[in-house]
Structure 1
Amino acid sequence: MTFSIVARCAETGQFGVAISSSSPAVAARCAWAQAGVGAVSTQNVTNPALGPLMLAHMASGADAGHAVAAAAAGDGFADYRQLLAVDSQGGTAVHSGSKALGIWTSARGVDCVSGGNMLASERVPAAMVAAFEGAKGTLGDRLIAAMQAGIALGGEAGPVHSAGLLLVDRQSWPYAELRIDWIDEGCPIAALSRAWEVYKPQADDYVTRALSPVAAPSYGVPGDE
């Protein structure tokens, strides 16, 4: 019931996850990333605990392949899980259990891996990877382009209602964490794209506000001088 892409920017060192589903608040359960370590998604019949577990393995020196394998092996229900990871070197890995739902598949690219289940077409992940690799701009821009390519091929077999974008840079907190947790009508990926357009010009300034408030710009809101 989900399609996603996890990726690394070799130029900036940022990591990110973009994801969409027919289920509510998909990014709250499935998208995980840690600065300097990697990004992962845990989806299908989701066990959210596997996200931090994969990141912990990578933080301890495991590559993406070993982190995914260890998480799957220790879960006890690996046949039901779909796990994706990218590590600090751009290595990628994916596990799709035999009991993944509907049409399920995955595709790997340079610094990225995409996967999904209950897909409208088995071509969706490959199209997302191709769009990511061909897109220009920031990591967030390229992840949004990948999601747009996925939904253009139908995305999930049924209508999607939630989407999310998670980015980490150098800090312990997310550089951006944008979520469309539920939308009855319209496309959550389109709404997510718009949210990123609004947030992107301010993202660096929010980091500055955290690290050096005296150097932070004002946005002209009431009371903000």
Structure 2
Amino acid sequence: MTFSIVARCSRTGMFGVAVSSSSPAVAARCAYAQAGVGAVASQNITDPTLGPRGLELMARGASAAEAVAILKRTSAYSEYRQVLAVDSAGISAVHSGPRALGIWAEARAPDVACGGNLLANDGVPQTMVDAFLVSEGHLGDRIIAAMRAALKAGGEAGPVHSAGMKLVREVSWPVADLRCDWSDACPIEELAKLWDIYKPQLDAYVTRAINPSDAPSYGVPGDE
């Protein structure tokens, strides 16, 4: 019922995670990232504690592979779970339990890992990885390209209804946390529209938080 991507920009050090599902508000339960540390997606009969635990392990020095292995070994019902992670060195790792739902698959490369369950076919994650690797530009653009590629490759076996993307960089909060919690159309395209609107303003929002006196105008009535 879910496919996702965790990724790192080797040029900027930014991390991102995106996920889509037939379930409502999937990104609220499955997408986790921390600046300077990494990104984690936890899915398939979701255990939302796995994301924060994975990030904590990597913050303490574990690689993505080590963190995923520890989560697999120490978590209850790991045979039901899928966990994807990427760390600050670009190491990526995936655990897919044998009781993941339907057709499930995973793929990874330096700086990126993708996985899914209840997929239309087992080639979807590799298609996502390939799309990410050949893409260029902002990490958010590259992640959207991978999610669109997943849809083109078949995506889920049924329709998807929610999607979200989270991006982190040098500050302690997500610099982008965009979600389409339910759509009867295409939530990935709704997410892409949100990103197109938000992307030109991303840096300004960060500047306003750090030092409002250096920020550009707010673009609201009465602003000078």
Please state which band the TM-score falls in when normalised by the shorter chain: over 0.9
1:210 aligns with 209
Match of 2:193?
A: 194
Q: Measure the CA separation in 2 of the matches of 1:177 and 1:8.
A: 16
Q: For 2:101 and 2:136, how far apart are their aligned partners in 1?
A: 33
Displacement of 1:153: 1.4
Distance in 1 of aligned mates of 2:23 and 2:185: 15
The Cα offsets for residues 158-213 of structure 1, whole Å up to 9 and x where unpaired, read as 10000001000011100100000111x21000000010000000000000000010
Q: TM-score, normalised by structure 1?
A: 0.98
How far did 1:223 drift?
3.4
Displacement after TM superposition at 1:222 (Å): 1.7
- Tell me, yes or no, if structure 1 residue 71 matches structure 2 residue 71: yes
Letter in 1 for 2:195: W
How far residue 154 of structure 1 moved from its aligned partner, in angstroms, is 1.7
Separation of aligned partners in 2, 1:162 and 1:223: 36
- What is aligned with 1:101? 101
Q: Cα offset for 1:104?
A: 0.2
Q: Using the alignment, how far apart are the partners of 1:129 and 1:73 within structure 2?
A: 26
Q: Within 5 Å, which residues of 2 pair with 1:1-225?
A: 1-183=1-183, 185-225=184-224
- Shift of residue 219, structure 1, vs aligned partner: 3.5
Distance in 1 of aligned mates of 2:26 and 2:56: 21
* Distance in 2 (alpha carbons) for counterparts of 1:116 and 1:87: 20
Runs of at least 5 residues in structure 1 that lack an aligned partner in the other structure: none
Cα distance in 1 for residues equivalent to 2:26 and 2:223: 34
Separation in 1 of the partners of 2:104 and 2:87? 23
Structure 2, unaligned runs of 5 or more: none
Matched letter for residue 216 of structure 1:
A
Aligned length: 224
Distance in 2, Cα, partners of 1:152 & 1:4: 14
TM-score normalised according to structure 2 size = 0.98
SS of equivalent residue, structure 2 residue 137: coil
In angstroms, what is the RMSD of aligned CA positions? 0.8
C-alpha separation in 2, matches of 1:190 and 1:124? 18
Identity %: 63
Q: Which runs of 4+ in 1 moved over 6 A?
A: none
Please give the alpha-carbon distance, in whole angstroms, between the structure 2 residues aligned to 1:63 and 1:155.
29
Aligned-partner Cα distance in 2 for 1:102–1:10: 34
Which residue type is aligned with residue 129 of structure 1?
Answer: V
